Structure 1
Amino acid sequence: MSTTQRSEGMNAFFDGFINSTTTLQQFVVQYDNAVRVKAQKKIEADFSSMNTTIACGSQSPIERQFQVQYTHAKFEEVQNEFRSRMNCLIKDTLKEDFWNTYTVKEERMWEGNRVPDKLYKVQYDPVTQTTTCSCQLFEFRGIICRHSLLVFSQEDVYSVPSQYILRRWSKNI
């Protein structure tokens, strides 16, 4: 995390609680208030995740699998990957002895302008029904990527292996 990211995170945490004229004594009191409000928001978010449902945007059983398991915040991230899957198409498939390698082309826009397409390699293991994508979104953020979702669809996978459902974002933790 860069220095500016840390300060932005701190600014967001203390926003509305302290300012440049806050004394040290006021800071201690406001820090407690900020922690209390943050904890209350987390409790409310957990309650909402357990007692309400965000509708699926597709008829995918995989999307439904994430809807049932994940908190609202993480399910929304997964839904974004489902929506973004529409910008991807399979350009090439190489079937080898132990896995299939897909080349996935993603069409992209930046600030309203089309930018060059990006190619990703997705390796799919038909035995374990697992994927590894060159974007490494799952490895870095723990969210299954649009490229892997596209390959699962191509391979007629209707339920992802449990390794893709991370317990730390489960409603039931």
Structure 2
Amino acid sequence: MKQYVLFQENVIHIENQDRFLSNEKTPVFWSHQLVERHAAAIYTRGIYLKFLTELVNSTAFKVIEIEKDKVYDLEKHIRYEKPEFTREMFRVHVDLSTGSFKCFCGKFERDGIVCCHILRLFTQFDITHIPDKLIVDRWTISFREKELDKCKKEMVLLTGEDQSHNAVRYSILMSKVGEACLDIS
């Protein structure tokens, strides 16, 4: 049990550090693509850096149209360091009307991060924002704040007007003060 508590404290520390960096540091952009700026605005810094790796790797692929606006093969035409997959060809199914992309590599389903193959198609189709279907709330900057607010509101409903209610109100107030200070700086 003691190891679990230490592990949990370490995870919380890492999340707090990532949250601070996400709110306080402006990322250095690698490209002039608007999708990169969108990712920087919504993702935590740690996830943004993983996204950035995928964006860089996307430039190593050429697009082969199999069925217009529906099926594409992406063929690696430039080798790069530490590729995640050894395959040279990946098939992506696309539905532009719904913003749906499904890649054979399965990275999004496994890790919750858009793969380099789909990002290459974003460039092909001039997509400037990550579709909502491809954003995992857990990886966003706003997720933790939403969860904290939800917990605070649940506590207020459970406890009523006693001392813990005052503590929760104080916590909400301090959260708002922190947001105001962040906006000022």
Q: Output the TM-score relative to the length of structure 2.
A: 0.65
Q: Which moved more, 1:56-65 or 1:34-43?
A: 34-43
* Divergent runs of 4+, >2 A: 30-42, 107-111
1:41 Cα offset (Å): 3.5
Is the 8 Å Cα contact of residues 84 and 146 (structure 1) preserved in structure 2? Answer: yes
1:65 Cα offset (Å): 0.8
Please list every run of 5 or more consecutive structure 1 residues that lacks an aligned counterpart in the other structure: 1-26
2:44 alignment partner in structure 1: 71
Q: Which moved more, 1:30-39 or 1:61-70?
A: 30-39
1:124 alignment partner in structure 2: 94
1:139 alignment partner in structure 2: 109
Q: Output the TM-score relative to the length of structure 1.
A: 0.69
Identity %: 23
As a proportion of its length, which structure holds more strand? Answer: 1
1:95 Cα offset (Å): 2.7
* Structure 1 residues 150 and 31, CA gap change in structure 2 (3 angstroms): closer
1:95 alignment partner in structure 2: 67
Q: Distance in 2 between matches of 1:156 and 1:38?
A: 37
Q: Per-residue displacement from partner, 1:104-146 (whole Å, max 9, x unpaired)?
A: 11244578xxxx8611111121312321111111111111011
The within-5 A match list for 1:25-36 is 28=2, 35-36=8-9
1:34 Cα offset (Å): 5.8
Is the 8 Å Cα contact of residues 81 and 146 (structure 1) preserved in structure 2? Answer: yes
1:155 aligns with 2:125: yes
Please list every run of 5 or more consecutive structure 2 residues that lacks an aligned counterpart in the other structure: 144-185
Which of 21, 33, 38 aligns to 1:48? It is 21
Q: Distance in 2 between matches of 1:55 and 1:169?
A: 19
Q: Distance in 1 between matches of 2:79 and 2:21?
A: 34
1:164 aligns with 2:137: no
1:150 Cα offset (Å): 0.9
